[in-house]
């Protein structure tokens, strides 16, 4: 049977052939998937630093992490900030699953598009302390190349010998989704054949906690089970999380030519701006509605085809009603109330720049396995969020397409339309 590797407009179909993750659920995609499907809460009291003088004491940490146990040398472990280490762990898994052999590839036709919302915040905080307490001569000479966000894709390119486009996308909490969407466009229009894309974050740090808490964005809950509550009437802010998600994307033609197994297909990408407020989303959800509409339309779908929404779902008072309004505007109120909605953040907390990539992975697994995961933490429906949030897995549920949404400070909206891989387009 002949497989159509092109879209109706003649551009390339883009598939996922490898996925990798490190999250508060542990190392690996399977750990993430098991936690999400099991409605587990991976939020706990912070262990990395003393929080006695902080208003917030809970987070989604990557616990017990030793980079030397995951393929890094002691020198790399010393020199690489955690956000780079997390990116490497997730990418190693994704590259291994894809089976991509860089020695057999033209490295100039492979790209890295990887971002971090904040970058090396630990190094930044530590070096400011050294500057003020000990003087400029005591600042780490590698301070700048350790801390800057683009050093994650830079080090990934060095690690795998990738010589095509090497980009660091930064759109706050939409970073991971925008990185994947940008890579999809590069492949779709023939600039490269393969891309390693994703997002990474090390945001569980004293200064981040203080800043977000003083902004009023973080919950001050003390019970981990009642902290991250997407779409719930009791929600009072997000829980900081950390980790990374990585995907290997390829043109379908390239994947099939080398015998790779497509895991899912990224059929569309929508990217919009609110032009509304520095931190708050536009309450009418118009921007995220347009992003979803764009993503679906690019894949040849309409709102009637939508199987489920993997929502940004932060559990803040402002975000969740905005996403609900966007879904109602997209589908109509009657149909919108029936579309299953899930949020990974009840399990992991909000992993900021990594969230869009981690959630794209969960969305890809969901459509591939004909299911929709439940949302940990959700128990009390809020009339302001009249969406169908699942408390149990929805199984034996084939879908044409699902969307994974991400929103970022500054009014950035991203939506990825992901479909189960089928030979015919």
Active-site positions?
A: 173, 312, 350
* HEC letters along the chain: CCCCCECCCCCECEEEEEEEEEECCEECHHHHHHHHHCCCCCCEECCCCCCCCCCCCEEECCCCCCHHHHCCCHHHHHHCCHHHHHHHHHHHHHHHHHCCCHHHCCHHHEEEEEECCCCCHHHHHHHHHHHHHHCHHHCCCCHHHHHCCCHHHHHHHHHHCCCCCEECCCCHHHHHHHHHHHHHHHHHCCCCCEEEEEEEECCCCHHHHHHHHHHCCECCCCCHHHCCCCCECCCCCECEECEEEEEEEEEHHHHHHCCCCCCEEEEEEEEEECCCCCCCCCCCCHHHHHHHHHHHHHCCCCHHHEEEEECCCCCCCCHHHHHHHHHHHHHCHHHHCCCEEECCHHHHCECHHHHHHHHHHHHHHHHHCCCECCCCCCCCECCCCCCEECCCCECCCCCCEEEEEEEECCCEEEEEEEECCCCCC
* Cα gap 48→350, rounded to integer Å: 17
> Of the candidates 237, 229, 169, which has an alpha carbon nearest to the alpha carbon of residue 200?
169
319-331 vs 286-298: helix crossing angle, rounded to 10: 50
Backbone angles phi, psi at 272, to 5 degrees: -140, 170
On whether the CB atoms of residues 117 and 203 are closer than 8 A, the answer is yes
């Amino acid at each position: 049977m002949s497989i159509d590797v092109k879209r109706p407009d003649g551009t390339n179909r883009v598939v996922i052939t490898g996925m990798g993750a490190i999250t508060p659920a542990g190392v690996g995609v399977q750990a993430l998937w098991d936690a999400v499907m099991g409605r587990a809460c991976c939020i706990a009291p912070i262990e990395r630093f003393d929080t006695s003088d902080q208003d917030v004491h809970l987070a989604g940490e990557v616990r017990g992490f030793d980079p030397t146990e995951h393929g890094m040398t002691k020198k790399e472990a010393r020199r690489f900030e955690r956000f780079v280490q997390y990116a490497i762990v997730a990418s190693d898994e994704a590259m291994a699953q894809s089976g991509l052999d860089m020695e057999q590839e033209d490295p100039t036709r492979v790209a890295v598009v990887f971002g971090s919302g904040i970058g090396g915040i630990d190094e930044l905080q530590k070096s400011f302390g050294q500057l003020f307490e000990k003087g400029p001569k005591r600042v780490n000479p590698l301070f700048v190349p350790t801390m800057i966000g683009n050093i994650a894709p830079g080090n990934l390119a060095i690690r795998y010998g990738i010589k095509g486009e090497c980009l660091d996308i930064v759109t706050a909490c939409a970073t991971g989704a925008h990185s994947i969407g940008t890579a999809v466009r590069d492949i779709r229009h023939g600039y490269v054949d393969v891309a390693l894309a994703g997002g990474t974050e090390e945001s569980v740090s004293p200064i981040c906690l203080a800043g977000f808490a003083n902004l009023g964005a973080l919950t001050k809950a003390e019970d981990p089970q009642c902290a991250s509550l997407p779409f719930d009437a009791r929600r009072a802010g997000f829980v900081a999380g950390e980790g990374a998600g990585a995907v290997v994307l390829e043109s379908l033609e390239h994947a099939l030519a080398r015998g790779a197994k497509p895991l899912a297909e990224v059929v569309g990408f929508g990217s919009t701006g609110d032009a509304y407020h520095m931190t708050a989303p536009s309450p009418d959800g118009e921007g995220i509605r347009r992003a979803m509409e764009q993503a679906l339309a690019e894949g040849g779908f309409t709102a009637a085809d939508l199987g489920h929404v993997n929502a940004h779902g932060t559990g803040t008072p402002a975000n969740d009603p905005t996403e609900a309004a966007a879904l109602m505007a997209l589908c109509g109120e009657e149909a919108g109330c029936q579309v299953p909605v899930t949020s990974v953040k009840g399990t992991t907390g909000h992993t900021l720049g990594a969230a869009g990539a981690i959630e794209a992975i969960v969305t890809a697994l969901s459509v591939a396995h004909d299911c929709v995961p439940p949302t940990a933490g959700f128990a009390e429906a809020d009339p302001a969020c009249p969406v169908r949030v699942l408390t149990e897995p929805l199984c034996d549920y084939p879908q044409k397409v699902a969307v994974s949404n991400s929103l970022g400070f500054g009014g950035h909206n991203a939506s990825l339309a992901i479909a189960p891989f089928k030979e015919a387009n």
